[in-house]
Amino acid sequence: MKLTIQEKEMAEGKQGNAIKKSMEILVALGEIYGAEKLIDVKSVQIAGVSYDNLGDAGLEFLEELAKDGKTRVLTTLNPAGMDMENYKALGIPEDFAVKQKKVIEAFTKMGVLPTCTCTPYLIGNNPHFGEHIAWSESSAVAYANSVLGAYTNREGGPSALASALTGKTALYGMHLDENREAKIKIKVETEIKGTHIFGALGKVIGEKVKAKPTYITGIKEASIEELKSFSASIATYGGAAIFHMEGITPNKTTIPSEEIIVTQADIGKAIKEMTMDDCEVDFISVGCPHASLNELAKLAELLKGKKVKKEFWVTTARPTKRIADMAGYSKIIEEAGAKFAADTCCVVAPIKGRFKCLATDSAKGCYYAYSKNQSKTKIMPIEKLVEEACK
């Protein structure tokens, strides 16, 4: 891989140890994937923030880089393992909290903004069409490539941090137009409406075509919330980093001739698979990916004057929560007995085994609740979640 004079100096350690280590990661990845050179990136999103996933080895790696590493571009963070302010009310143990705070301190020392959200595009890290970025968090990657028209690979936590500290990434994969072209057409022959149904569609397509870029027809309209749900689901169930939705997403692509049809029966089957029998709901969660202001407004409207009788977490970005505070939504939601879990989510928090049956509107949430947290699941629209919570 060709490096510029400045990049060679970075790789040789002339700009410090953190830059040297970062260049090792980026050059190794570039060589594995046959990149011809490095390119500049405009923003970074780093996943792998929960101490539950990082452990002590991950924390040590971050503290080592934080000795002389400083971000060179706008860099935001994925959810942590706990609400950084309200963790006690959510039952997070103190020894976990101590370690989680150290993780955030190491990132903050490097200049990473402790946004702790998987929807950076809702709180100010919002790249524009055609911009090259280096993001981890599969749902945000699919959203950035497909809905915003930015260019990013599905980075891992260490490679995203390496990009943050150098402002660079290797030119391969999703940074090249030829790899973003649709390979298969998906004709949707049923009405798709609501975040849980968009999530079910992502599961159906992801399982049918895996990570292949798709050209999807038959969707009449899609809100930001529906697109974030779909992005999370297609990335979770298939590993896709990009999709094209006719009349909705902005990227150009040739339209493939191979076609798969999605019917109401496919959507019904996906919903059934995520709605398990013998499952008495004891945990309800809204906000996977993190809830938008619109979703918090709707939730406040639905919960007004009611009382929830089950553990109910609303996961969102802290800046979104602050605006919800100003608008009065938070007060209504909390008076109903639901709890905000800002900075975190029910997948990365250390709650394995604590709940038996999660109800959510998120297909991605169902996947991880079952596979990581050993919880059964039920998927339903937000209106039904509120009914379930108040039963």
Which residues here bind ligand F3S, judged by CB under 6 A? 78-79, 118, 139, 232, 288-290, 315, 345, 347-348, 364-365, 368
| Shortest Cβ 230–ligand F3S spacing (Å) | 12
Main-chain phi, psi angles of 372, to 5 degrees: -100, -40
- Selection from 374, 355, 278, 273 nearest residue 313 by Cα: 355
Complex with ligand F3S: residue 215 or 368, whichever CB lies closer: 368
Q: Helices marked H in the chain — which ranges?
A: 5-11, 17-32, 51-65, 94-109, 138-143, 157-166, 195-209, 224-238, 264-274, 293-303, 318-327, 329-335, 363-371, 382-390
Nearer to ligand F3S, 79 or 127 (CB): 79
Q: How far is the CB of 155 from ligand F3S (least distance, A)?
A: 15
Nearer to ligand F3S, 22 or 117 (CB): 117
> How many whole angstroms separate alpha carbon 180 and alpha carbon 249?
13
What minimum distance in Å lies between the beta carbon of 115 and ligand F3S? 12
The secondary structure of 298-367 as a DSSP string is: HHHHHHTT----SEEEEEE-HHHHHHHHHHTHHHHHHHTT-EEEET--TTTSS-TTT-SEEEES-HHHHH
E strand or H helix that includes residue 79? none
117 closest CA partner among 298, 293, 361, 334 = 293
Provide, rounded to whole angstroms, the least separation between the CB of residue 217 and ligand F3S.
Answer: 26
Report how far residue 329's alpha carbon sits from residue 12's, in angstroms, rounded to the nearest whole number.
Answer: 52
For 291, list phi and psi in degrees, rounded to 5: -65, 140
- Cβ distance to ligand F3S smaller for residue 118 or 336: 118
For residue 331, the minimal CB distance to ligand F3S (Å) is 23
- Which CB sits closer to ligand F3S, 22 or 152? 152
In the complex with ligand F3S, the residue whose CB is nearer, 188 or 346, is 346
Compute how many other C-beta atoms are within 10 angstroms of the C-beta atom of residue 218: 16
Q: Which amino acid type is present at position 203? A: K
Looking at the Cβ atoms of 143 and 215, the one nearer to ligand F3S is 143
| C-alpha–C-alpha distance, residues 157 and 174, integer Å | 17
- Say what angle helices 17-32 and 51-65 make with each other, to 10 degrees: 120
Minimum distance of ligand F3S from residue 348's CB (angstroms):
6
- The nearer residue to ligand F3S, 204 or 346, going by C-beta atoms, is 346
Q: Angle, to 10 degrees, between the axis of helix 264-274 and the axis of helix 195-209?
A: 100
Residue 139 Cβ vs ligand F3S, minimum distance, rounded to whole Å? 4
Neighbour tally for 377: CB within 10 Å: 24
Minimum CB distance to ligand F3S, residue 228 (Å)? 8
